[in-house]
Chains A and B, each alone.
Chain A
Amino acid sequence: MTLRFFTLGMTASFGTAWLFAVVLPFFKTRELKPVPYVEAIDEKTGVYFPKRTGQITNGAKVYAQNGCYVCHTQVVRPTYAGNDFHRDGWAGFKADPDRGDTRRESNVFDYQNEEFAQIGLMRIGPDLSNVGARYAKAAIAKNTELKEKLGDAWNDSMKITPEDLLFEHLHNPRLNVDMRWSTCPAVPFLFEKPKADQVTPAPKPEARALVGYLMSMKKDDAVPASMNYSPPKPAEK
């Protein structure tokens, strides 16, 4: 093997893959393009270009710095690539009281305003694509339960917000009896020193940012039919 052949071969074999699988797709996908609705199918006109709110940039930074991505993923795979779609609450809810079947897989708009999509390494913990939606639902359930229990003693100041539940989880993932099996590490250093008789102390700004980011994960809005690969079956419609 001559040096010339070696150099050329190395450049060609690596360069081809480098160009076509890495560099070109990278630059081709830099801009997000709005997806137009097709009137005949979607029954509306215009374009789909959702906006995300919440402390995304700061929260994503806290998420990255503390290595949440080691055990949590943020992708709902289409059914050809896995069964995430069917797991309760991961892709949305099968029977949402207001909106019916809200399940859908991840799309490219779900990662807006982030520098790096935290797809994640392993699923030691559950997927977080819809963790905001799940906690919102859990908070409603908890409030209803409390209301029934207390009856007339209930007032609105007792209301539990989804954020409260998330803070509780971050401060001690095993506080909830149903979650005793959890191996999620606690992050008490994102909270102030607890005062007497306080179970979950006041959060620091980092914890607020992280919770804001997690609450922004409600990736179950309706999408145009052209990008919905798992549309509800006609019978369910």
Chain B
Amino acid sequence: MFFFTSGAVWLALSLILGIIAVAKMVSPELLDGCPMLTQGRVFAAHISTLVYGWGCQAAFGVLIWLVARLTRQENRASGIVLAAGHAWNLVVAVGTIAILAGYGTGVPWMEFPAMVWPALLATYTLIAIWTMIQFRVRAAGEVYVSQWFAVGALIWFPWIVATAYVLIFLVGGNPLMSAAVAAWFRSGLTYLFFVPTAAAVAYYLAPKITGRPVHSYSLSLIGFWTLAIVGPWAGMQKLAGAPIPFFLPYLGAAAAVLIGVPTAAIAISTLRTMCAAPEKFAASPSLRFSSAGVVCMLLLGVASVFTNLPDSTLPLSQFSITAYGMDILAIYGCFSFLMFGAMYFIVPRVTRREWLSKRLIKLHFLFSMYGVITVAVLSVLGGLLHGQGQEDFKFPWDSAVARAYPYLIATLIAWCFVLFSNFFFCMHLLLMWMRLGRRSSHPTLLGHAHVENPHGPEGDIDNAGPGSVIAH
């Protein structure tokens, strides 16, 4: 719960920074002269808080809860995990302030100063180790699909971060290979941490809420192993044409195209599971958010195929605003929507209170969905046009920049929508955190009130659970 609320606050902060960053791309005079808020620093802080403040914390919270649930054990070290969570927050805060104060490293997605990374890895170990032990000592039995992805994400994350940290900051090599490793790191974090965490949630929520088994076990198996095999090769296509060994960027491009396979497999099997119970689909907020997240995952896979074709689209997407659109589609579209879905499911179970208002949930969904689809679609497609302008060497450079301009304005407006929606989410979540949720046996559903309710008439209940003695 702590991870969720602090994650949500970071998300709001990141969105504000994102809005400033994009606004400055559109009208550079804005907030001019304040060194803390120069465009490059704000953009770095925006991405860093989005990834480490919101993304990682939401993921940790969900992964800890999922593994505990699925191994049917209580987390035995919640004190340590909470303390480590506070430490994580502190470290991210220090890193963000350092970026804004001008101590960033200039390594994309690793802008936090070099000394921050060992601290992050150490706190991660404290957060994750108990969950791994829990998985190891679980009562023998079926390992659910959801668990493969959850454990996979927990293993890949430190491996990727530690590799990038050691190679770039400790060992130091050819500057170009450092850049290549950083590109691989960005893609690895996206496809081997955010996407599998999202998949773990989808594979948990879909069968749980609909009450149907996961559609096609073998398709899920294909989804997992293709992701595991293809994912680690992707990333270096961002350096196509740079003087590094020729095979690296093109292997990266091939892998990025093949990412379409696991995302499609995961998306199809979870969507089929969700569609098995259409009536739940309409009512459950978790399902609504997670289905949107899965659709975004599908879009991400398709976009990854169509923006990384080395002969046609890779030169266009490599240095255009497409890259930003893909990051947002992955982190905000696919990943965050599944995290919201999970939170709408988990938080009532942890706090033993129901969500306060279905209108707030609906507002959150509507504005977030509208915003993120606008940002992602416009940046990805607009980026291709931007790229085309860059390639048209017969026209002056400003015409290429002018092509990106309207898309940047639209992105700015859409970010404002997303911020607006997350303001409500953050507030709602904080109220729940303060245990101000509805004490009711009725989950907050999005359907209409006149639907026959299996829980009987609405009323306050004693939430001590079954077996508690009724007063009088």
A residues whose Cβ falls under 8 Å from a Cβ of B:
1, 3, 6, 9-10, 13-14, 16-18, 21-23, 25-30, 32, 60-61, 63-71, 73, 75, 77-78, 80-84, 86-88, 105-108, 110-111, 114-126, 173-174, 181-189
Contacts and interface: CB of A to CB of B under 8 A. Distances in A.
B248 A116 contact: no
Given A22-B181, A83-B315, 18 more contacts: A1-B148, A6-B148, A14-B228, A29-B173, A63-B106, A78-B241, A81-B240, A81-B310, A83-B391, A83-B393, A116-B107, A116-B168, A116-B179, A116-B182, A119-B176, A121-B319, A183-B24, A185-B39
Given A114-B175, A116-B179, A105 B41 contact: no
A100 B43 CA distance: 40
B168 A32 contact: no
Given A10-B152, A65-B103, A73-B319, A108 B174 contact: yes
A122 B321 contact: yes
A82 B35 CA distance: 35
A17 B232 contact: yes
B391 A82 contact: yes
Contact of B28 (A22, A68, A182): A182
A123 B319 contact: yes
B340 interface: no
A129 B207 CA distance: 53
Contacts of A26: 167, 171, 173-174, 177, 180-181
Interface string B308-327: 00100011001111011000
A82 B318 contact: yes
B175 A173 contact: no
B241 A81 contact: yes
B245 interface: yes
B105 A64 contact: yes
A188 to B, nearest CB: 5
13 contacts: A3-B143, A25-B244, A25-B245, A64-B107, A65-B106, A67-B44, A70-B44, A81-B318, A83-B392, A110-B243, A114-B175, A122-B321, A188-B32
Interface residues of B, number: 88
Contacts of B304: none
A127 to B, nearest CB: 8
B64 interface: no
Contacts of B172: 115
B241 A75 contact: yes
Contacts of A81: 240-241, 310, 314-315, 318
B241 A116 contact: no
Nearest to B145: A1
Nearest to B36: A189
Contacts of B103: 65
A70 B43 contact: yes
B357 interface: no
A126 B396 CA distance: 11
Contacts of A13: 225, 228-229, 232
A122 B323 contact: yes
B108 A69 contact: yes
